[in-house]
Amino acid sequence: MKTFSYKLYFFLIPALVYQLIFGIYPLIYNFILSLKDVNLITYMGGTSQWIGLFNYVQTLKDTVFQRAFFNTLVFTVLSLSFQFIIGFLLALLFNHSFPLKGLLQSLIMVPWVVPIIVSGSFFRWFFSDRGMLNGFLLSWGLIDNPAHWITSQILPLFSVTIANIWLGIPFSFVLLYTGLTAIPLELFESADIDGANWWQKAIFITVPFLRPVIITTLTLGCIFTVKVFDLVWIITKGGPGDVSHLLSTLSYSLAFSKFQFGKASSVLVIMLLVTISLTIFLNSIRGKEESSIG
Amino acid sequence: MGKKRQSKEWKWTLIVLIPTIIIISPVYFLTIGGFQTAAEIFHRPIYWFPPHPTMEFYNDAYVTLLPYLKNSLIIALGNLALTLGVALPAAFALAKFRLKLGKPTFFILIFTQMLPATAVIIPLFLIFNNFKMINNYFSAILAISVFTIPFATVILRAYLQGIPTGLIEAAFIDGASLFRVFWSIIVPLSRPAIATAVILTLIMAWGDFIISLTFLKDQTMQPMSIGLYHFVGQYGVEWNKLMAGSVIFAIPPLMVALLAGKSIVTGLTSGAFKE
């Protein structure tokens, strides 16, 4: 089919060119911005100067950035761990046949399909001082005074993390469930004959078989968690003060609330470096295990 | 056999039902919130059912949000047309042929899909601003497509790989042109994957928040997601309207999830697993 070669590019080129113009070029532009002193005045006047790595130095020294970096780390590690555990337990529950399975599986997907402004608004109310969570905790006598879930110094980060865990359940559930159903049933049957108990089956059959799927779920989950923006923006806008900023919300607020585009870009470049190293990590692991993923 | 086994299976349904209910409970509380006054929403202890249900806030929210519907549809459908138009041919070329640019293209697709939205949006804002494209539906459609095109391409490619190459070769031997093969064989045969891609692309564009928030400052052009965000006012949130409006806005994707849950599952997994 070689003769079609050049005609085939009519099919491929639009996608390639599109992503280069609207995906890759903005990244390059972003990098250039990070090396210039672009703010509202210099941008409007077209007078921005090259300032080398000054934005990066400023950013790295900035305590708000350091806090956001640390927050992103905590947010990612906690989200990922709990999403994984909950998704895995759900996948184990679903790995049986029972009535209404299809319907329940669709319902588990609800957090993924609900628009982010809707789930964000819900959690904003849920965590508010007079909201649902405090309502429950007070009426059950677990706390005496309302906790400031999104209006204090430490808690907001954990509140948005809880919201994000909910949001990510469908993703880890779907991947792990698909992985589980791919394990040949005969393995469990012969283990049953040999008298293996539930734990032995889990440790010697389920986990080794799922290894590639687990790695994929964690790595993709990591990439998708580092870039979370909307949810946090809707619930706390990175506040109160700057205590619940992630790198994503910090860069957005630098750009569109403070109009420090250059500095915002340097935060983005740092965030991108994290994403790129994760992508490379993912590809190298998946490449090695390609044959077993199938 | 029957009875005992049956009851054991229903027991599983009940066990699975518990986490499922917890997971979907936000939708329930938003729904009843829309039927309640602000005092009832913040009542302690929490009301499990609206004590005096009123349609007032659903009505209010509906009337306020209706003007935004047109914009949501323009953005979602525009994005869908662009995404399919670009992704389907690309998926065909990537799935069925070995092209020199195949691998790099695929890499760029995967890479851009994983990019943080903010990393694309902030520079795009300045670029679009230079071209006087802020407050233009195209700016939102173009930016959302950066993320939906890779997503759709990966789903479609995974499915197209399963279409027997022999079918395509036979058509070529019969003298069919490349474009003919694409239209008369590939497109009809990949209908199920196209349906999945359409559903997921629509859900993504319908739910978009950050891109519309950034590029569409003119209220008459904003989609419903931003319309809802206006209920979160500068000086306090109109909770009843926000909750009622949220439910109205979430109905289309929720219906799709219930009717085509399977497609969403397939779409998410093929996106993650196929090389």
Interface test with B, best of A89, A106, A247 (most B CBs within 10 A): A106
Are A98 and B10 inside 8 Å of each other by CB?
yes
What is the per-residue pLDDT across A84-98, written as a single tens digit (0 to 9) for each? 999 999 999 998 888
Q: Smallest CA–CA separation between A195 and chain B, in Å?
A: 22
Of A1, A99, A112, the CB nearest to B172: A1
Cβ-defined contact of A19 to B143 (cutoff 8 Å): no
Which residues of chain B are within 8 Å of residue A250 when distances are taken between CB atoms?
none
pLDDT at A292: 39
Q: Alpha carbon of B182 to those of A12, A256, B89: distances in Å?
A: 13, 44, 8
Per-residue confidence (pLDDT) for residue A282, from 0 to 100: 67
pLDDT, residue A294, reads 31
Contacts of B229 in chain A (CB under 8 A): 117, 234
Across-strand partners of A21? none
pLDDT bucket at A192, cuts 50 / 70 / 90: confident
> What confidence score (pLDDT) does residue A2 get?
47
- Which residue in B24, B114, B275 is closest to A223 by CB distance? B114
| Identity of the highest mean pLDDT range in B3-7, B142-146, B160-164 | B142-146
Three-state SS across B199-222? HHHHHHHHHCCHHHHHHCCCHHHC
Cα separation, B133 vs A76, in Å, equals: 35
Name the nearest CA neighbour of B264 among A104, A109, A86. A109
Contact B208, B140 (CB under 8 A): yes
Instruction: Report whether CATH 3.30.230.10 matches the domain B68-224+255-273.
Output: no
The predicted model gives A189-209 an average pLDDT of 85
Contact B192, B41 (CB under 8 A): no
Give the pLDDT band (50/70/90) at residue B262. confident
Q: What is the pLDDT of residue A3?
A: 54
Rounded to the nearest 10 degrees, the angle between the axes of helix A132-139 and helix A116-126 is 40
Chain B residue with minimal CA distance to A93? B16
The Cα of B30 is separated from the nearest Cα of chain A by a number of Å equal to 7
Q: Is the pLDDT of residue A189 over 50?
A: yes
Q: How would DSSP label each residue in B53-85? A: --SHHHHHHHHHHHHHHHHHHHHHHHHHHHHHH
Sequence-separated (6 or more) residues with CB below 8 Å from residue A272: A27, B115, B116, B119
* Longest Cα separation, chain A: 79
Top residue of A117, A177, A234, A268 to mutate, by most chain B CBs within 10 Å, is A117
Q: Residue A117 and residue B246: Cβ atoms within 8 Å?
A: yes
Question: Which of A10, A105, A113 to substitute to test the interface with B, most B CBs within 10 Å?
Answer: A113
Model confidence band, residue A291 (pLDDT cutoffs 50, 70, 90): very low
pLDDT digits (tens, 9 = 90+) for A12-37: 999 999 999 999 999 999 999 999 98
Least CB-CB distance to B108: which of A16, A121, A293? A16
Residues on chain B touching A8 (C-beta within 8 angstroms)? 93, 97, 99, 178
Tell me the domain boundaries of chain B: 68-224+255-273
Domains in chain A, please, with CATH?
Answer: 58-293 (1.10.3720.10)
Q: Which residues of A touch B28 (CB under 8 A)?
A: none
**Which residues of A fall within a CB distance of 8 Å from B111?**
23, 279
Kindly tell me if the per-residue pLDDT of A183 is higher than 90. no
Residue A191 has pLDDT above 70, yes or no: yes
Across B70-141, the runs of DSSP E, i.e. the strands, are none
Higher pLDDT, A289 or A154: A154
pLDDT tier at B246, thresholds 50, 70, 90:
very high
Q: In percent, how much of chain B has pLDDT > 70?
A: 96
Distance (Å, whole) CA A174 – CA A114: 16
pLDDT at A206: 85
- Angle between helical axes of B3-34 and A63-94 (0-180°, round to 10): 150
**For tokens 């027997």, what's the residue?**
B164
Per-residue pLDDT reduced to its tens digit, A215-233: 888 888 888 899 899 999 9
pLDDT attached to residue A212: 83
User: How do residues B37-64 score in pLDDT, each as one tens digit?
Assistant: 988 998 888 889 999 999 999 999 999 9
What is the arithmetic mean of pLDDT over A239-264? Answer: 92
Look at the alpha carbons of B206, B211, B215, B219 in this order and tell me if their dihedral is positive or negative.
positive
* pLDDT in the model for residue A11: 93
Q: What percent of chain A has pLDDT over 90?
A: 55
**A94 contact residues in B (CB cutoff 8 A):** 16
> Please, which pLDDT band fits residue B234 given cuts at 50, 70 and 90?
low
Measured distance CA(A214)–CA(B9) in Å, rounded: 28
Whether the pLDDT of residue A283 is over 80: the answer is no
Quote the pLDDT of residue A40.
Answer: 83
Nearest chain A Cα distance for residue B135, angstroms: 16
- Tell me which residue in A33, A102, A220 faces B123 most closely, judged by beta carbons: A33
Residue identified by tokens 């508010």 is: A128
With CB atoms and an 8 Å threshold, state whether B123 touches A43: no
- Range of lowest pLDDT (A248-252, B193-197, B234-238): B234-238
Q: B89 to each of A10, A234, B167, B168, B181, how far by Cα in Å?
A: 8, 37, 17, 15, 11
Q: Where are the alpha helices (DSSP H) in chain A?
A: 5-19, 25-34, 40-45, 54-61, 63-94, 101-108, 110-113, 116-126, 132-139, 155-181, 185-193, 198-201, 207-226, 230-235, 247-256, 261-288, 290-293
* Cβ-defined contact of A93 to B12 (cutoff 8 Å): yes
Determine the pLDDT at residue A117: 95
Confidence of residue B275 (pLDDT cuts 50, 70, 90): very low
Check CB contact under 8 Å for B111 and A7: no
Residue B253 has pLDDT above 50, yes or no: yes
pLDDT for A6 beyond 50: yes
* Residue A251 contacts residue A271 (beta carbons within 8 Å): yes
Look at B124 and A26 and tell me if their CB atoms are within 8 Å: yes
Q: What is residue A289's predicted lDDT score, i.e. its pLDDT? A: 54
CB contact under 8 A, A14 and B122: no
Supply the pLDDT for residue A287: 63
Q: What is the ipTM of this complex?
A: 0.91
Taking an 8 Å cut-off on Cβ atoms, the answer to whether A166 and B30 are in contact is no
pLDDT tier, B7 (very low <50, low <70, confident <90, very high otherwise): confident
pLDDT value of position B245 = 95
Please give the pLDDT value at position B5: 66
- Shortest Cα distance from B186 to chain A (angstroms)? 13
**CB within 8 Å: B243 and A93:** no
Residues in chain B: 275
Distance from CA of B253 to the nearest CA of A (A): 6
| B200 to chain A: closest CA residue | A113
